């Protein structure tokens, strides 16, 4: 039942046979076309993923990384596909310390791309349509162009410093020295040729074929550390999701090196409290959720990035009770050992058979490194900036190891089946905004569009920031719609409150709620270019 106190502005999109929600209308339509043509959720995921890399070039692409969390209805099994790659062999702590640290853009910020490997592993396991057919929408968007949106223009202008040093990036995203005009067609012919090669030769070619050789040469020419040997070593990780119970639900998440376990901890801590008497958006509930987030982030910082984080302990009822006992009536100020400038894209798909995919992919910061890999048209990530350089930290840089990721792809289950497929981009904000959406729907009865449009908060702690040098402030950011009375009460509880405008908070959530009668409710966040479709 819809929450009576909050009215969404966008319509809730509903259908019986399938749904797609992504951060761009062109990508959503690519996925919907695959579903209408008889493809399944994995097939639609390939089409949406590759198309997003074209139409949201500032968020993801072939030069980035990903996680895909799939539910297979016939077998009743879930699995995750990790499309992140290890640090290059030549990327050492000593090299970066000698350079004064890890740069946030430029060639030395580039880590080996892993997204294509994760996507191909998902398709190999669950796809039903030919790979080449699923690459076609992305080729079309790259070859013939897509219309520049307000969001794209904003990111182009905001990231001039990242794009201008690279002539190839500058030519596409800053034509005539400025962001493309609204509605102008953004053409990427070199990327279209690469995508066509990927369609014909398959994902293996990206890592161990002609595409790999060309990409390696281009990265080397640009000054990046990753090379052909690093590409050849990339393999997707396939693993079951990790999970915790929450009331009469089960939340499933992507396992490490994803930091999705922090969201699981937040729910475990919250479950120690009776929130049934609290109002949604009240200072009491926000305070409790923020403090749960702070406690979980202490464990995130201590353990995320280690080869084998102690998940059994971290996700135990005992650990949740220990954290809950430390939450008092006033705000705690807990430096973890700020909010990172990082950009990602999220989407979700549910098909007619009930198969579902929760998907997230990224090139880290807006436009990643800003470096385009030669004539490939591939914009390279800046994921090296997620590493730490101090010895003894769980996330200390080691060649051949995977860095920890804020990316996570949750799925909320009920009675053994998906109840909500949802997620968001947003670096350190991801798990805490996902946390709010889940509680709004599972505990307070909001429909997905209400939950996505509801005013949100985000908490930062000193040392929390994911990008090097890992700073961060001590602030609780509230969207204006939460209300001045609540903000004043939170200040009185000791929170350092900052107010931003309506819909100016972080993240861009996409969600599909699956009803018992088979109806799929698809919702999309208005904070970016998101669009939901169902049929």
Active site residues: 344
What separation in angstroms does the CA of 152 have from each of 53, 55, 379, 531?
13, 9, 15, 15
Place of tokens 């602030």: 475
Element (H, E) at 412: strand 411-414
Please report the sign of the dihedral spanned by the C-alpha atoms of residue 234, residue 236, residue 239, residue 241. Answer: positive
Q: Are 40 and 371 in contact (CB under 8 A)?
A: no
Q: What is the C-alpha separation between 168 and 166, in angstroms, rounded?
A: 6
**Between β-strands 417-423 and 411-414, what pairing exists: parallel, antiparallel or unpaired?**
antiparallel
- Identify the CA nearest to 186 among candidates 209, 155, 208: 155
**What would the DSSP string read from start to end of 202-260?**
-HHHHHHSHHHHHHHHHHHHHT-S--HHHHHT---EEEPPEEEEETTEEEEEPPTTB-T
End-to-end CA distance of the chain: 22
Q: Is 11 helix (H, G, I), strand (E, B) or coil?
A: coil
Element (H, E) at 34: helix 25-36
Place of tokens 């385009």: 372
Tokens representing residue 346 in the block: 């999220």
Q: How many CB atoms lie within 10 A of CB 515?
A: 11
Angle at 344 between CA 343 and CA 350, to 5 degrees: 155
- Identify the CA nearest to 45 among candidates 350, 413, 257: 350
Looking at residue 518, what DSSP letter applies?
S
Q: Are 369 and 279 in contact (CB under 8 A)?
A: no
Tokens representing residue 432 in the block: 């805490």
Q: What is the 3-class SS of 297-358, one letter each residue?
A: HHHHHHHCCCCCCCHHHHCCHHHHHHHHHCCCCCCCCCCCCCCCCCCEEEEEEECCCCCEEE
Angle at 131 between CA 128 and CA 133, to 5 degrees: 95
Q: Residue 196: exposed, middle, or buried by beta-carbon count in 10 A (0-12, 13-18, 19+)?
A: middle
């Amino acid at each position: 039942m819809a929450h009576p106190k909050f009215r969404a502005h966008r319509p809730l999109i509903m259908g019986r046979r399938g749904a797609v929600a992504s951060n761009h209308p062109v990508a959503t339509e690519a996925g919907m076309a695959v579903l209408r043509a008889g493809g399944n959720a994995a097939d639609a995921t390939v089409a949406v993923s590759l198309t997003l890399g074209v139409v949201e070039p500032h968020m993801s692409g072939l030069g980035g990384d990903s996680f895909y969390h799939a539910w297979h209805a016939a077998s009743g099994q879930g699995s995750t596909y990790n499309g992140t790659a290890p640090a290059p062999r030549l990327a050492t702590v000593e090299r970066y310390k000698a350079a004064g640290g890890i740069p946030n853009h430029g060639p030395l910020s580039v880590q080996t791309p892993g997204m294509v490997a994760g996507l191909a592993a998902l398709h190999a396991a669950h796809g039903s349509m030919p790979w080449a057919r699923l690459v076609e929408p992305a080729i079309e968007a790259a070859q013939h162009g897509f219309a520049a949106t307000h969001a794209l223009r904003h990111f182009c202008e905001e990231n001039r410093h990242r794009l201008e040093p690279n002539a190839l990036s500058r030519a596409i995203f800053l034509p005539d020295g400025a962001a493309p005009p609204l509605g102008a067609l953004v053409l990427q012919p070199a990327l279209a040729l690469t995508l066509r090669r990927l369609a014909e030769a398959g994902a293996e070619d990206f890592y161990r074929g002609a595409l790999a050789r060309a990409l390696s040469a281009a990265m080397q020419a640009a000054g990046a550390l990753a090379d052909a040997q690093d590409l050849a070593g990339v393999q997707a990780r396939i693993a079951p999701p990790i999970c915790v119970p929450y009331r009469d639900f089960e939340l499933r998440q992507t396992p490490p090196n994803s930091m999705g376990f922090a969201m699981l901890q937040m729910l475990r801590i919250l479950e120690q409290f009776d929130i049934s008497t609290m109002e949604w958006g009240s200072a009491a509930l926000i305070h409790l959720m923020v403090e749960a987030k702070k406690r979980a982030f202490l464990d995130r910082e201590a353990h995320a990035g280690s080869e084998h984080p102690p998940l059994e302990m971290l996700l135990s009822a005992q650990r949740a009770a220990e954290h809950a006992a430390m939450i008092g009536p006033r705000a705690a100020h807990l430096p973890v050992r700020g909010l990172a400038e990082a950009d990602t894209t999220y989407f979700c798909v549910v098909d007619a058979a009930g198969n579902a995919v929760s998907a997230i992919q990224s090139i880290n910061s807006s436009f990643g490194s800003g470096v385009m890999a030669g004539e490939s048209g591939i914009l390279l990530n800046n994921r090296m900036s997620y590493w730490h350089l101090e010895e003894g930290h769980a996330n200390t840089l080691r060649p051949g190891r995977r860095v920890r990721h804020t990316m996570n792809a949750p799925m909320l289950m009920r009675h053994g089946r998906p109840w909500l497929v949802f997620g968001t981009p947003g670096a350190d904000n991801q798990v805490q905004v996902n946390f709010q959406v889940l509680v709004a729907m599972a505990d307070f009865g909001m429909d997905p569009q209400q939950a996505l449009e509801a005013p949100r908060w985000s908490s930062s702690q000193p040392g929390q920031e994911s990008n090097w040098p890992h700073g961060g402030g001590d602030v609780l950011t509230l969207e204006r719609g939460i209300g001045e009375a609540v903000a004043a009460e939170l200040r009185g509880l000791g929170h350092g409150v900052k107010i931003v405008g309506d819909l100016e908070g972080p993240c861009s959530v996409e969600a599909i709620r699956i009803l018992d009668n088979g109806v799929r409710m698809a919702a999309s966040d208005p904070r970016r270019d998101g669009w939901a479709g169902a049929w």
